[in-house]
Structure 1
Amino acid sequence: MRKPFLTILIFLFGIQILIGQNNNDPSNDWDKILITDAYGGWSNFDNKFQIKKQDLLLTSLEKPDSIIKRIDPKLVSELVKSIRNTNDYATFKNPLISFGRDSLWLINNAENLWKEYTKGRKTTKEIDAIAINTIKDYKKANHAASSLEGSHSTDDYPVIIVSIINEKDTLSAYSFGQYPYMLPWNTKKRRIYDSKISELVAQLLPDKLPNNKERLSGINFNTSFVKEIYSTFLADKENFLEARNAFPGTFRSLKKEFEISKAEIVDMSSIEWGGLVGRRCLEMLLKDSTISKNIQFYTISGVNELLTTKRSIIRRKKDLINLLNENPIYKYTLNCGNCLGEIHWVKSKSLSTEAKNEFKEDLEENGIDKKKYNGRYKDAIFFELTENRESERSFSRWIFLKDGTLILWQLRGNYLMNFPKDFFANQGYICKEVML
């Protein structure tokens, strides 16, 4: 008789243990879930839903008798557990993992990702191969994925708030994320980078109402991901290859004298090129390591004037440097660890006719006679200086006249070289002569 009794005791004890485990299960620790699903951008909606544990029905908070759909209890349990538990996705050290992807996914999908992204436009086999290999690069892919979180735009305001309510407390997780999956999720104590939470919330939302369901589901993640890879690692490369293939002779000649760090065929209108409507041109950045790593040449040439520009910059390079050797701005640039100086060259001169005319207009706007420097522009040098100090950046444009006059054409930033603070009172196109 004792054996059946002992068996019953063990059975009952096992049930108690199981019940105790369920009571301690964080995925089961909820009575009601409230979901705010809103948007305040170009269109507006403000949806409020609730799910009660007793019936597992999604209803409108304002109309609790209006049943939207029945909810799978497994979805709710997984969502509650993911928000309550600290997990490996709490940080953003491996962004791809946070988005449910890994290196194997990159390898298996790189070609299709690139094909889908470039659908409808022509590409070359060369850039296709480069792009596919770049997408497969786990480090670069993580770098691109790391940008797909948070809120950066000023006209896009999605909001999701999930409140898990029980007898003792309420735990809320919210997101303002603008990218696919809307990461990160924020709670009182931490940020959570886990796209699974977003997917679970998306599955809870109704299908028909205006809502954030599509964004939470990450439907456009692949496009956003490859777009970020392209803009960061591929755009300049593709532009360079297009220009090189269009003008191989120009590239061959210039490569004998310079390192061509950037090249692009573009329709452009700027202060030194193109006028009001813009013109097609070849834009290039050239470097000569024998001069300095802090100096580069920025050249612009009409696509039908390449021969003139190519020959003139090769021929005049030494003359330009000789003219600058005693220039204090140039010397400062050479000795500055965080400076980049840019010598401009348009067609066959540094200060183009368009730039000179723009400068004269700025002189007049500053109350200076626009004819003040007439007759002195020959062999003038148009120079740009960019300097970085910690998190701040200073940018200035200069015109160096052959007679030694230094004109600060434009200033943007809270510092410039070693000038005192009161020097920066005026910003913009200030057209100021500087004595050094």
Structure 2
Amino acid sequence: MNKLIPIILITLICIQNVIGQNDIIINNWDKIVIHDVYVGWSYFDNKFQIEKEDLLLTSLEKPDSIIKKVDPKLINEIVGLLQNNGESDLSKESMSFFEKDSLWLDQNAAKLWKEYRKNWKTTKEIDSIAIGAIKDVRKANKIAISLQGSNRTDDYPFVFIQLINKNDTLSASSNGQYPYMLPWHIKKHKVYNSRLSELIAELLPDKVPTNKERLSGKNFNYHFINEFYREFINDKENYLEARNKYSRTFKLLEKEFEIKRAEIVDMSSIEWGGDFGRRCLEMSLKDSIVSKKIEFYTIFGTNKIMNSPKTILYKKDKLINRLKLNPVYNYTLKCDNCLGEIHWVNSKSLSKEAENSFKEDLADNGIDKNKYNGRYKDAIFYELTENRDTETSFSRWIFLKDGTLILWEYRGNYLMAFPKGFFESKGYICKEIVLK
């Protein structure tokens, strides 16, 4: 019994210390103001307040209009998180920003995938691939960090909360578009803490339009798995569908190529033409003997007699031989962060539809659309993508058989070794380039 007395005393002292700390936090504010706004598919502009004296949530404009009594424990936790904030460590596992970890992934992967695909045809093979991918914590962290910020131009939520006392005001704001609305901006710091979002959501009323559901993380699982699907599963599913349906084509091409990507698509675009989509097989092929930096972007009609994939096997070496002295092609080979794509549609590189689209762009630039008539035979349609630091440059080229280099399209802030600002405009510029 004597041994228990010191233990009880220590426990009571610890409890008193905790209560005292909580009281300090609770008492370090006089008023909380919440500005809750949405502009987009709908509109609302709410202003709420909570006075320390009564812990009642009311309208800021009508303080006599009581909405609800607020739990002091809820206020205590919010105030604590706001006051003890700091820049979130983005090197940490980003799943932790949403209070989730590898155990949560292991326990919920199958359920998450099943719910996501409940109205969508699937196979055991893709189910196995998807569930395995979702359990990969490195992949999950990559997806989790993408579920923050704002990038859509038709969706503008905004929440602004102020912790006010006689001497100071502490503010936190968010305009995040994803569930939980991360990050929070507090004292010029970005704070990734979904718990803070959940707590603020609990403050908001239920019976008026607010950002409550978004703050509470509604539909987080859907967004998480949807981004997972787009990043890690979609291409694999498309590949498997194409491989299973066109196994002979795969076996034929795999003799000389690594098939990087394959998809069955309905295409009525620059590469195919027509008013309605036509079934075709879109593939990215790589021949490591040629270069790891060069891919053949191919489109074949699904009528094997009229649109045989054998054409790329027959013409590949001729295409590469013609490019050996091409300065854009050679730049690609020497560039560490470049990818060059040679287009191939059924039996040639520059399809008739691509040619017609190029002529339209010539006319849009004030150039005679018939300028290159008679010179398109055996032209090569080529795309160059280059990454430098965090920026990407994209250019689309037409290489005529007579050696003329036409820069059809240019996007980015740099291009190859050209001086910055060399090109006056971007987009579909249709400009002849002289390179040595």
CA distance in 1 between partners of 2:330 and 2:17 (Å): 78
Residues of 1 paired with 2:17 and 2:294: CA distance? 73
Q: Distance in 2 between matches of 1:325 and 1:418?
A: 19
1:251 pairs with 2:250? yes
1:137 aligns with 2:144: no
| C-alpha displacement of 1:82 | 1.7
Superposed, 1:324-363 pairs within 5 Å as 324-363=323-362
User: How has the CA–CA distance of structure 1 residues 28 and 341 changed in structure 2, closer, same or farther, with 3 Å as cutoff?
Assistant: same
Matched residue, 1:7: none
Secondary structure of the corresponding residue to residue 57 of structure 2:
strand
Whichever residue aligns with residue 201 of structure 2, its letter is A
What is the CA–CA distance in structure 2 between the aligned matches of 1:392 and 1:313, rounded to whole Å? 32
Is residue 268–residue 278 contact of structure 1 (8 Å, CA) maintained in 2? yes
1:287 aligns with 2:304: no
SS of equivalent residue, structure 1 residue 80: helix
Paired amino acid for 1:91: D
Pairs within 5 Å for 1:67-82:
67-82=66-81
Task: Tell me how far apart the structure 2 counterparts of residues 141 and 186 of structure 1 sit (CA, whole Å).
Answer: 24
Work out the CA distance in 2 between the residues paired with 1:77 and 1:414: 49
2:89 aligns with 91
Q: CA deviation at 1:71?
A: 1.4
TM-aligned CA deviation for residue 18 of structure 1: 6.1
How do 1:249-398 residues align onto structure 2 when only pairs under 5 Å count? 249-305=248-304, 308-398=307-397
CA distance change for structure 1 residues 208 and 403 in 2, over 3 Å: closer, same or farther?
A: same
Show the counterpart of 2:210: 211
Q: Could you tell me which residue of structure 2 aligns to residue 165 of structure 1?
A: 164
User: 1:295–1:341: 8 Å Cα contact kept in structure 2?
Assistant: yes
1:110 is displaced (CA, Å) by 0.5
1:245–1:32 Cα change, 3 Å = same
Distance, in Å, in 2 between the alignment partners of 1:132 and 1:352 is 40
Contact 1:285 1:298 in 2 (8 A): yes
- Shift of residue 317 of structure 1? 0.8
Q: Which of 292-301 and 395-404 deviates more?
A: 395-404
Cα distance change on mapping 1:80 and 1:119 into 2, 3 Å:
same
| Inter-partner Cα distance in structure 2 for 1:67 and 1:24 | 25
| Post-superposition CA distance 1:203-227 (Å, at most 9, x none) | 1111111001111110111011111
Q: How far has the Cα of 1:58 moved from its partner?
A: 1.4
Residue 166 of structure 1: how far off its partner (Å): 2.7
Query: Corresponding residue for 1:114?
Result: 113
1:303-334 residue CA offsets vs partner (Å, 9 max, x unmatched)? 22477341100111111111111222222221
Greater CA deviation, 155-164 or 356-365? 356-365
Equivalent residues in 2 for 1:52-67 (5 A)? 52-67=51-66
Superposition CA RMSD, Å = 2.5
Shift in Å at residue 425 of structure 1? 1.6
Q: Say if 2:146 is the partner of 1:147.
A: yes
> Are the structure 2 counterparts of residues 335 and 84 from structure 1 closer, same or farther at C-alpha, using a change threshold of 3 Å?
same
Counterpart of 1:432 in structure 2 is: 431
Q: Distance in 1 between matches of 2:433 and 2:19?
A: 81
2: CA distance, partners of 1:213 / 1:311: 58
- Alpha-carbon offset, residue 403 of structure 1: 2.5
Task: Give the Å deviation of 1:349.
Answer: 0.9
- CA shift for structure 1 position 56: 1.9
Question: 1:415·1:424 contact (CA, 8 Å) conserved in 2?
Answer: no
Query: Counterpart of 2:198?
Result: 199
Q: One-letter code of the match for 2:89? A: T
Residues 28-39 of structure 1 aligned to structure 2 (within 5 Å)? 28-39=27-38
- The superposition leaves residues 135-173 of structure 1 with CA deviations (integer Å, 9 ceiling, x where unpaired) of 111111011010111222222221212222233322222
1:144–1:32 distance in 2 versus 1, CA, 3 Å? same
How many angstroms does 1:189 deviate by?
A: 4.8
* Residue range with higher mean Cα deviation, 303-312 or 289-298: 303-312
Q: Deviations over 1:80-122 (max 9, x none)?
A: 11211247x8334222111111111111110110011112110
What's the secondary structure of 1:25's corresponding residue? Answer: helix
Structure 1, unpaired ranges of 5+:
1-9
Counterpart Cα distance in 2 of 1:171 and 1:422: 44
Aligned-pair CA distance for 1:73: 1.3
Change (3 A) 1:86 1:388: closer
SS at match of 1:164: strand
User: Is it true that 1:239 corresponds to 2:254 in the alignment?
Assistant: no
In structure 2, do the counterparts of structure 1 residues 293 and 307 end up closer, same or farther at CA, with 3 Å as the change threshold? farther
Aligned-partner residue type, residue 155 of structure 2: D
Larger Rg: 1
TM normalised by structure 1 equals: 0.90
Q: 1:355 to 1:20 in 2, by over 3 A?
A: closer
Distance in 2 separating the partners of 1:373 and 1:19: 81
Residues 382-413 of structure 1: CA distance to partner in whole angstroms, max 9, x if unpaired?
11122233333332222222222222222333
Q: SS in structure 2 opposite 1:115?
A: helix
User: Is contact 1:91–1:191 with CA below 8 Å preserved after alignment?
Assistant: no
Amino acid in structure 2 at the alignment position of 1:411: Y
Query: Contact conserved, 1:250 with 1:307, CA < 8 A, in 2?
Result: no
| Structure 2 Cα separation of the partners of residues 168 and 57 of structure 1 | 22
- Which letter does structure 2 place at the counterpart of 1:398? W
Say whether the 8 Å CA contact 2:158–2:173 is kept in structure 1.
yes
Distance 2:103 2:19 in 1: 40
How many correspondences in the alignment?
Answer: 423
Matches within 5 A, 1:218-233: 218-233=217-232
Pair 110,19 (structure 1): closer, same or farther in 2 beyond 3 Å:
closer
